[in-house]
Amino acid sequence: MRYWLAFQISVYGFEKLFEVNFTFSYHADDTLVNSLTGQQLTWKYYGFSYGLSLIIGFLQIVGSIFLLFRRTILLGIVTLLPVFFNIVLINIFYGIGPITIFTCVLITLGLCYLLLQRKEEIIALFMHYKNTGPVIGSKIARLLARVLCILIPCIFILYYSHGVRLSEKYFGKWKVETMTRNGKIVPENAWEKDTAAWKVIYFEERGKLYYSPNPHMFVDSTAVAMRYLYDDTKNSLDVISYEGSIPDTIPVQIKKFNGTSMQWNMILNKDTLQMQLKK
């Protein structure tokens, strides 16, 4: 089994080293991200950096070599098992393919089997291990410190998440159906020449707001990025513009909000804007 595992895993490793795995896809490169399959997304993500593929491939090859020698079997398992457990999860949840999933699961089970064969050695290692570092405080203090190390991050993230979710009803992609600037309706096709004739507003989490003139796709070079502050107690929204030398906080009046549509009134760069938005 060790030799079969080493053979199979080294194939994956050399595929990454010689750029056979995660190869560049020309048609996927011209495909919108939300149209890509799980496999295409995975290939594009890992194929973006050859350095990352090189490290993963190197670990797979070195781990395979360790499996071939009795003295280094455990070292090979420790090197390869975390890598393949992660690969199995990616293959399953990104729908890479039944054959690939089956092969990776088989390899992972094989590594687990080799690990179980050495369970007595592993148990003995932990049983005889002694921490020679200095002991701080009493047992109760150490127990409290351990609990707080987990509890404090959990409470902090819950509190932060609650703050983020307060403006959740506005999250999403909002189409600008009509836009009025200083009392004049902005023409439907004005966005082709005027980057301030917004057609889409992206209301993101964590206070991010993007105004895009292109109705078909987001182009970073023509879009305007702002921040927003939402006060749930007053149900008020302020946007922060960074276009000038000093950040400008702009109150936004939201009217006729029903979850899928709303009206925005705001003053930006001395222009009075009114926008009818639809989700």
- Would you place residue 180 in the very low, low, confident or very high pLDDT band (cuts 50, 70, 90)? very high
* 79-92 tens-digit pLDDT: 999 999 999 999 99
> By C-alpha distance, which of 105, 121, 107, 106 is closest to 70?
121
The pLDDT score that the predictor gives to residue 240 is: 93
Rounded to whole angstroms, the Cα distance separating 108 from 106 reads 5
CA distance 176 to 264: 10
3-state secondary structure of 74: helix
Residue with tokens 């190390």: 149
Model-wide pTM > 0.85:
no
Residue 129 burial class via C-beta count within 10 angstroms: exposed 0-12, middle 13-18, buried 19 and up: exposed
Percentage above 90 pLDDT, the chain: 70
Looking at every residue in the chain, the average pLDDT score rounds to 91
pLDDT band at 19 (very low <50, low <70, confident <90, very high): confident
| Residue 69 predicted with pLDDT over 90 | yes
Number of CB atoms found within 10 A of residue 227's CB: 15
156's CB contacts (< 8 A; 6+ apart) are none
Query: pLDDT confidence of 12, banded at 50, 70, 90?
Result: very high
Q: Model confidence at 121, in pLDDT bands (50, 70, 90)?
A: confident
> How many CB atoms are located within 10 Å of the residue 223 CB?
17
- CATH class (in words) of the domain with range 169-278: mainly beta
* 118 band by pLDDT with thresholds 50, 70 and 90: confident
8-state DSSP, 205: S
Domain ranges of the chain: 2-128, 169-278
